[in-house]
Each structure stands twice: as structure tokens, then as C-alpha cells.
Amino acid sequence: MNLAAAANENLANTSNTLIYSAMAIYTLAFLAHMAEWVFGSRSKVGRTAAALTGEKAAAPAVTVRSTAQAGGTAVLDRPKVVTRSAAGSRDVPDGVGAHGGTEKGDLYGRIAVSLTTLAWLIHVGGVVTRALSVERAPWGNMYEFSTTFAAVAVAVYLVLLMTKKNVRWLGLPLVTTVLLDLGLAVSVLYTASDQLVPALHSYWLWIHVSCAIISGAVLYMGAVATLLYLFRDRYEAKLADPAGKQPGAFAKSVLERLPAAATLDKFAYRINATVFPLWTFTIIAGAIWAEAAWGRYWGWDPKEVWSFITWVAYACYLHARATAGWKGRKAAYLALIAFACYLFNYYGVNIFVTGLHSYAGV
């Protein structure tokens, strides 16, 4: 019997324990992020807009000016949504409690980041021990892909924080998604540690699938920023329309804690544009691996088809952003459709469609 073919049950059990432990600490990080949103400060743009429009006013303030034309008719000027801080500096994604807010909110935010980092270290330990239990890449089935994907997504977030990017506003949706992803992995997608089918025994498993995981994690960041942009943009539009329905107290409490819509839009675009070449390489690498494993570069397998559809959708989004008429909400909708294609490519194709890429046990 080939000893390499047998899984190390002790390491596999250790991996499971580490994953569950990471989920427990991610839950604490989630609670800390919630506390940050409750006690934290609003974004620079939110604070400036509130100062100019009136915190307690039912509608944004308007300026009345008189003019000599038309017999001195009074003219109402629409308020403008400010995209710069009161000090005149460029608005950045500062998030809740990050700059000049309440000390309590900022403290909870720092605690949340610390807990997220600790959970991530334990999470990575679970992924590594899973790999050691079978001496291969830890993404041979949907369970392993999901746990590794979540670890990479958190890693991207922490890297952005370390590179002085003020993206703490991503913390709450990120930790929430990670908990949902890991919960689904350990309950529905779980597969016992085992070896792979012969076709997957290739160094391309390390290259192709790792690129797919990294691409997906970064595209997820862009999708979250895009979704938040849509909410924030609608909020700013309501503020700018004195005759329309004004945002409610809950919307103001949440959305004023986000960066400006323009900032979120720019962040999402840069994220998607940066990772698009890697997603392109992922498809090319998959084609090369397919030729080595199955004797053809492209066979219109469902996974291949939806990978290409995802690529086309993001290509259309990037092209739309370069066209003046497709900036803003239209492009944002297209970006969300593209990410939905990525999600279907993973969950839908793997679970509901039979093909050469079907994962064992799922």
C-alpha cells in the first residue's frame, strides 16, 4: 500500500478543530465590528455633509439668493453633496471610528482587527494541516476550496490594512461572509481528507486553482465595495434632492459611516482592474492543464464555459468604465452581474451541473 495515498487522520482532525476555533474567534470579531459601527464615527464625507445640511433638519438646507432678473425672483440653489472633508483633504475610505471619531468606536475597531488577525492565523493553520494530512494542495474539493478562499479573502483585507489603505469599513461584511462561507463548508460541503483522482495530480493544481482562489478573493472585495457604492450613491442622491423623500434615521446612521460614493466606486474599479489579468491567466492556465490531462485545450465543459462568461462580464465592465456613458450605477450593476457569474461558476456548476470539473463527494 502506498503510504502517501493514506490521509493522516490526526492532522485531518487537527485541521477541523482549528477551523472551528477560527470560526469562534471570527464570531468575536464580528461582534467587535458591530460595536464599532454602533459607537464609531461617520466618514469624513458624512460628517461634512451633516454639518452643511444640518444634523437635525428634516431635509437638506437650501440657499436662497435673489437676482435682479425677472423682478427679483428668489431662486433656490440645490445643495451639493460634498466629496471632500471639512479640512479640504481628499476623501478616503476611512470607515467607522477610523479618524477623529469616538474613542470607544475606534477601540472596538482595533479590537475587531486584532481578533480578525488572530482568527486568520488559526484559520491558516487549519488550511495548512489539511494540506499536510494528504501531502497535497489544500483545494482538491469544494470544502477545501471554500476554507482556503476565506483565508485568502481575509489575507487580502489585512494586506490592504498594512499598506495604509483605510479599508476598515470592509471588516464587517468580510467577517460576516467568512462566517457564512465556513459555516457552509463545515456543514454542507465537508469532505473527508483524502487523495485526488489521477487527473488532478499535477503541478498545475497549485498554479491554476491558487490563481482562481486569489482572483475570487480580490473580486469579492470589489463586489462588496460596488454594493456599498450603490447604497451610498442613492443616499447622496436623496440628500441632494430637497424635494424628494429624505433618508430615514437608520439609513443615515449606517450610510454616513461609509466613504463617499465616488470613493467606493473608484476603489471597486481599481480592485477589479488590478485582478483582471490574473483571472485571465487563470483561464489560460486551466486550458494548458486541460490539454495535459484530457488531451484538449478547450472542450466547452460547463466550468470552462462559465469561467469564460465571467471573464467576458468583467471585460465588459472594464470597457464600460472606459466609456463615459457607462460610469456610475450602470457599470456597478454590470460588476455585480460579473461577480454573480463567478459565484455560479463555483457553486452552481460544481453542485448542479455534471462535468469534468465536478468535485468528489459534492
Instruction: For 55-99, write each residue's pLDDT tens digit.
Output: 444 444 444 454 444 444 444 444 444 443 333 334 443 444 333
Residue pLDDT, tens place only, 122-177 = 999 999 999 999 888 888 888 999 999 999 999 999 999 998 778 889 999 999 99
Query: CA-CA distances (angstroms) from residue 221 to 23, 112, 120, 175, 296?
Result: 20, 18, 17, 12, 34
Confidence check: pLDDT of 275 > 60: yes
* Distance from C-alpha of 120 to C-alpha of 261, rounded to nearest angstrom: 30
Say how many residues make up the chain.
362
Query: Range with the lowest mean pLDDT among 196-205, 250-259, 287-296, 321-330?
Result: 196-205
Nearest to 259 by CA among 82, 134, 139: 82
66 sits in which H/E element: strand 63-66
Question: How much helix, strand and coil, in percent to the nearest 5, is found in the chain?
Answer: 70, 5, 30
Query: Range with the lowest mean pLDDT among 243-247, 280-284, 288-292, 319-323?
Result: 243-247
Query: CA-CA distances (angstroms) from residue 161 to 5, 45, 157?
Result: 40, 20, 6
Do 52 and 45 meet the contact criterion of CB atoms below 8 Å apart?
no
Between residues 84 and 240, which one has the greater pLDDT? 240
